[in-house]
Amino acid sequence: MWAAIWDAIVISFEIDLGDLEASAKVDGHGQAKILTDEELGRLFESGFQSWRDRALFAICMFTGCRISEALQLKAEMIRGNFITFTRETRKGKTGTQQVEIVPGLRALLDDWQRLGEMPTSGYLFRSRPDSKQPFLSRMQAHEILKTACDRIGIEGVSTHSFRRTYITKLRAKGYSPAQIQRRTGHKRRENLMHYFDQV
């Protein structure tokens, strides 16, 4: 009997890694989604509803910084064509780092400033006046991003998606792990290589 049933079943034993780019967070678990250019375009055009929110996530996208580092930026840390992430804002207090403002980020920051909404001193991403913390929390940033993604129908995105996307784009351009590490501020090379293993 089993032989007759087995003869009717066709099983392919083809082995494949599947779509590694399709990894996404579900209910806070799993890897942050790597965003495509099309998804980024929709997110910044229609998902985010304020220039502040666009600027926050554009800084993460174009510098590869962590959301906590972006949230602690002050207006005084943007001078000329550079953003300075101070030792106090960096994970592990790894030292001050200056990152060049690339044209895509420059255009967005200029628009935010031109509208008169960009703070000229103090924290760029301020929390409500009644808050104990002077700048937006990571949870508030997560809610902003979730609302934006829900608005345009993208799933599996977290605040860490921008850092993963940044590293993936640099890797695709042929930059070495050492070059990427200098930009991302990873203290240990093996922590950066973990990203390489994910894609």
Which residues are CB-contacts of 154 (< 8 A; sequence separation ≥ 6)?
33, 35, 39, 42, 43, 47
157-191 pLDDT, tens per residue?
A: 999 899 888 888 888 787 767 676 666 655 655 55
Percentage of the chain exceeding pLDDT 70: 70
Boundaries of every domain in the chain: 36-198
| Interval 96-108 mean pLDDT | 90
Locus of tokens 């922590």: 191
Which of 42, 95, 41, 70 minimizes the C-alpha distance to 160? Answer: 70
Mean pLDDT, residues 109-116 taken together: 94
CA 191 to chain centre: 17
Q: Which CATH superfamily is domain 36-198 in?
A: Intergrase catalytic core (1.10.443.10)
Res 118 pLDDT > 90 = yes
The residues with which 97 forms a beta bridge, in sequence order, are 85
Through-space distance between the first and last CA atoms of the chain, rounded to whole angstroms: 45
H or E element that contains 97: strand 97-100
Distance between CA atoms of 3 and 8, rounded to whole angstroms? Answer: 9
Structure tokens at 122: 């103090």
Q: Is the dihedral of CA 143, 60, 199, 172 positive or negative?
A: positive
Confidence at residue 131, expressed as pLDDT on a 0 to 100 scale: 82
pLDDT value of position 189? 53
pLDDT tens digits along 12-40: 555 544 454 555 555 555 678 889 999 99
